């Protein structure tokens, strides 16, 4: 698939993936944990996503209870929040973190389902 080959430039530690790659991850990795860091979760979100709104600190609160060895896909509605969320996981020692490039809108534009 090549997701691991798309390391973000620099030392971010997470991997940017396209909507197509994110869909493949979701379809092939049932253990993948999908984190929506936006305040818009209740309006609509990716299937199986859980909400840790970064703006109110719930992602920070959740990090100690999450498993570092699991794989995570982070997205929001804006780059600043999804990048910040992905970096928080990496900084906490998580080793496999993906960030949905283009965020929620890229997923919707690709025609993929939402809940």
pLDDT at residue 7 in the model: 42
pLDDT at residue 4 in the model: 37
What are the tens digits of pLDDT across the range 82-94? 999 999 999 999 9
- Taking only Cα atoms into account, the Rg of the chain, rounded to an integer number of angstroms, comes to 13
Which portions of the chain are predicted below pLDDT 50? 1-10
* 21 CA to centre of own chain: 12
pLDDT at residue 27 in the model: 97
A 10 A CB-CB count for 44 gives 13
State pTM to two decimals.
0.89
The sheet with strand 15-17 has its strands ordered as: 15-17, 96-100, 71-75, 33-36, 50-51
Task: Give all domains of the chain, ordered by start, each with its CATH number.
Answer: 9-109 (3.40.250.10)
- State the residue for tokens 């798309």: 6
Q: What percent of the chain has pLDDT over 90?
A: 90
């Amino acid at each position: 698939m090549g997701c691991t080959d798309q390391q973000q430039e620099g030392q971010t530690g997470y991997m940017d993936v396209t909507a197509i790659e994110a869909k493949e991850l979701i379809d092939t990795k049932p253990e993948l944990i999908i984190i929506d860091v936006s305040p818009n979760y209740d309006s609509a979100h990716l299937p199986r996503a859980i909400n840790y709104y970064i703006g109110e600190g719930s992602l920070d609160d959740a990090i100690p209870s999450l498993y570092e060895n699991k794989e995570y896909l982070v997205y929001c509605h804006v780059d600043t929040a999804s990048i910040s969320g992905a970096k928080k996981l990496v900084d906490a020692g998580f080793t496999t973190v993906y960030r949905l490039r283009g965020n929620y809108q890229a997923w919707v534009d690709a025609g993929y389902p939402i809940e």
